Structure 1
Amino acid sequence: MEQIKNWIAENPTLYSIIAYVLLVVFVLILIQLLRRFLRRQVSDSTARYKSQKGIEIIGYVILILLTFSYFTGNIKDFTLAIGLFTAGIAITLQELILSIAGSLYIFIVKVYKPGDRIEINGIKGDVIDVDSIYTTMMEIGQWVSSDNYSGRLVKLSNAFVFKGPIYNYSQDFPFIWDELNLPITYDSNVELAKSIVIKIASNILSEFTASSKSQWNEVVNKYYIEAAMLDPTLAISLTDNWIQFNLRYIVNYKRRRSTKHLLFDAIHKKIKTTNGEVTLASTTLELIKIPEVKINTD
C-alpha cells in the first residue's frame, strides 16, 4: 500500500487518467447491464425499446457531467469549462451537435418513431431505429417498383430533421389516397362500366373506408383541416382514343400495391362477363387514306 501511495504521489496525472478511464468503463458496463436487464424483464417491444434508449441517453449525460466535474474540481471551474467546451465544439462538431439536437427533437416533438413510414432527404422507408446520432431506415423503392423494400438499410443523420420536409405516411392517419386509371372504348356502355367500377371498389375498399372515417375525425379535431371525401369516387374524361375512368380511393399505406391488384383483377373479370357491352381500350391508329404509288417501268 505504501508503494502504491508513493507511485500515486509521483505520477498524479497518470493516476488521474487511469482513474477516469476506470470510471468511464464502470458507467458503460452499468449501462449495458441495465439494458440487458430491461431486455429480459420488459415484454412489450415498444416499452422495451424506449426504456433501453432512455437508459442509454441518461448514461451519456452522466458521463459528460462526470468528465467535467472530474477534471475541473469545483463549481466555478466547472462553469468556465462548460463555456469553453461549448464554444469549442460549436465550431468543430457542428454536425454532431445538430444530430444530437435532432434526436432530442424527434423524441420530444414525436416527429416520427420506429415503425413509421417516412420520406426524408429524398429517401423513403420504414424507420426501424432512432439513436442519438442516426435514424436507421429499411429503404423502399429505388430500383424496386411500388412500395416494396429494396433490401438496403439506410443510416441518416438526425440533423436532417432541421434541413427539409419530413413526409410521414403513418402518423395520426395511416391512410393515403391512391388512384386507378381505366381506359374504356367509346362504343362501350358507359353507365354499366361506371356501376361495375363503383360496386367493386365499394366492396373491396369498405374496410379501409370505415376505418379511415373514425381516424379522420380525430385528425380534423387535432389540426386545422377541412373534412375530406373518404368514399371511393369516380371521374371520367375524354381522350383521343378512349374514355378515361379515374377511380380515387383511400387505402392503408402498407397495402397500396395489393389493393390496386385486387381492384384491377376484379374489374377485369367483371368486364369479361358483359359480353362486349364494356370493352377495355388500347392505343389504336386509324388509316384515313392510302397514298397513291406510281411505278415507272421504263
Structure 2
Amino acid sequence: MEPIKKWLSENPTLYNVFKYILLVAFVLILIQLIRRFLRKQVTDTSLRYKSQKGIEIIGYIVLILLSLSYFTGSIKDFTLAIGLFTAGIAFTLQELILSIAGSLYIFIVKVYKPGDRIEINGIKGDVIDVDSIYTTMMEIGQWVSSDNYSGRIVKLSNAFVFKGPIYNYSQDFPFIWDEFNLPIKYGSDMELAKSIVIKIASETLSEYTTNSKSQWKEVVNKYYIEDAMVDPTLAITLTDNWIQFNLRYIVDYKKRRFTKHSLNDKIHAEVEKSKGKVVLASTTLELIKIPELKVNIKRNTKNEI
C-alpha cells in the first residue's frame, strides 16, 4: 500500500481523476439500486415507470452538480487530464454520446413518448420505454399481417433520431387514412351499390370522422399544411373485368384492422340483401374462339394371324 500511496501523492492529478471516477460509479450504482427497489415495491405500472424515470433524472442532475463542484477551484490542475480524457471518450464512445444526445433531443423536442406508435430505422412498434440510451418498442408487423404485435421487444439506440426519418402515428393527430377496393360486376345497379357503400361507411366511421375534424383543425393551425377531407370518399374506376370501388376513410391508428373487417362484413351483408341487384365480381376468363381440331381415324380391317 505504501508504494501506491507514494505514487498517488506524487501524481495528485491522477489521484483526483481516480477519486472522481469512484464517486461517479457510486452515484450510478445507487441509482440502479433505488430503481430496482421501486420496481419491486410499486405495484401501479404508470407510477412505477414515472418514479424510475424521476430517480434517473435526479441521478444525472446530481452527477452534473457533483462534477461542477468537484472541479471548481482546481480546474487548472485538471486541464490536461480532462482534455485527454474527453478526447478519448469522444473517440471511443461516439455512439454512446450520440445516444445520450438523442435522448435529450427526444425529451426536449418531444419527438415521441411512451405510448406513441412510431416507425424508425425500418422498425414499427409502440414505444414502451425511453431511457438515456435506448428506445424500447413492442414490435408490430413483420411476419404478422396488418398492425398486430409480433411479440418481440426491440431496443433501438436513441442515436437513430439523428440518422433518418421518424414516422409518428399518434402525435398531434392520432388518426390515419386507410382504403380498400371493392370489385362490382358490370350490370349491377350502380346507384344502389354506391348508396350501400357510402351509407355503411358513414355510419361505421361517424365517431372517427367527428373526433378527427376538430383535431385536424389544430394540425392545420399548427403546421403549414392544407386542409384535407376526413369524411369517407368513394372513387370509381372502370377496369377490364369489373367496376372498382375505392373507399377511402379515416380511422384510429390502433383500430385499422378491426375497422376494415367491420366495413367489409357489413357491405357484404347488404350486397347479399340486394337479391342480385348488386353483385361482387371475381376474375373471369372469356374464350373468344375454340380452334377446330381435325381427327382422322383409320381402322385396320385385316385380320392378323
TM-score (norm 2): 0.85
Q: Name the residue aligned to 1:192.
A: 192
Quick check: 1:95 aligned with 2:95? yes
Q: From the superposition, tell whether residues 42 and 289 of structure 1 become closer, same or farther in structure 2 (CA, over 3 Å).
A: closer
In structure 2, C-alpha distance between the alignment counterparts of 1:140 and 1:89, rounded to whole Å: 36
Aligned-pair identity in percent equals 78
- Report the alpha carbon displacement of residue 275 of structure 1 after superposing the two structures with TM: 0.6
Letter in 1 for 2:297: T
**Alpha-carbon distance in 2 for matches of 1:154, 1:40:** 26
Amino acid at match of 2:296: N
Task: Give the residue type in structure 2 aligned to 1:103.
Answer: S
Q: Secondary structure at the match of 2:182?
A: strand
Q: Secondary structure at 1:104's aligned position in 2? A: helix
In structure 2, the partner of 1:223 is: 223
The alignment's TM-score, normalised by the length of structure 1, stands at 0.86
Q: Secondary structure at the match of 2:145?
A: coil
What corresponds to 2:165 in structure 1?
Answer: 165
- Which residue matches 1:258? 258
Q: Would you say the 8 A contact 2:38–2:48 is kept in 1? A: no
Q: Distance in 2 between matches of 1:91 and 1:18?
A: 20
User: Secondary structure of the residue that 2:138 maps to in structure 1?
Assistant: strand
Pairwise mapping of residues 1-298 of structure 1 onto structure 2 (< 5 A)?
A: 23-24=23-24, 26-28=26-28, 30-32=30-32, 35=35, 36=37, 45=46, 49-60=49-60, 62-63=62-63, 66=66, 74-298=74-298
Do 1:57 and 1:132's aligned partners in 2 also have CA atoms closer than 8 Å? no
**SS in structure 2 at match of 1:288:** coil
Distance 1:185 1:21 in 2: 76
Provide the residue aligned with 2:303 in structure 1: none
Conservation of the 8 A alpha-carbon contact between 1:139 and 1:151: yes
Determine the C-alpha separation between the residues in 1 that align with 2:232 and 2:134.
40
Q: Distance in 1 between matches of 2:58 and 2:3?
A: 35
Are the structure 2 counterparts of residues 135 and 37 from structure 1 closer, same or farther at C-alpha, using a change threshold of 3 Å? closer
Tell me: CA distance 1:18–1:151, structure 2 relative to 1, closer, same or farther (3 Å).
Answer: same
Shift of 1:61: 5.2
Change (3 A) 1:20 1:165: closer
Q: Aligned AA for 2:266? A: A
| Aligned partner letter, 1:146 | S
Provide, for residues 136-194 of structure 1, a one-character-per-residue CA deviation record: whole Å limited to 9, x for no partner.
11111010000000000111111110010000000000000000210000110010000
The 8 Å contact of residues 140 and 149 in structure 1, kept in 2 or not, is answered as yes
Gaps of 5+ in 2: 299-305
Question: Residue type of the partner of 1:131?
Answer: D
Aligned length: 293
| Shift, 1:288, TM fit | 1.1
One-letter identity of the residue aligned with 1:288? I
Deviations 1:74-112 (A, max 9, x none): 122345544333322222211111111111100100000
Q: CA–CA distance in 2 between the matches of 1:246 and 1:21? A: 64
Cα distance per residue 1:232-286 (max 9 Å; x no partner): 0001000000000000000000000000000000000000000100000000001
* Change in CA separation of 1:261 and 1:213 when aligned onto 2, cut-off 3 Å: same
Q: Give the SS at the match of 1:107.
A: helix
Partner Cα distance (1:287, 1:108) in 2: 66
Name the SS of the counterpart of 1:244 in structure 2: strand
> What is the deviation of 1:31?
2.7
1:116–1:169: 8 Å Cα contact kept in structure 2? yes
Are the equivalent residues in 1 in contact too, given 2:183–2:243 (CA < 8 A)? Answer: yes
| 1:289/1:236 CA distance change after superposition, 3 Å | same
Tell me the amino acid that sits aligned with residue 224 of structure 2.
Y
Which shows bigger deviation, 11-20 or 26-35? Answer: 11-20
Alignment check: 8 A CA contact 2:38 2:51 kept: no
Aligned partner letter, 1:154:
V
Of stretches 14-23 and 120-129 in structure 1, the one that deviates more from structure 2 is 14-23
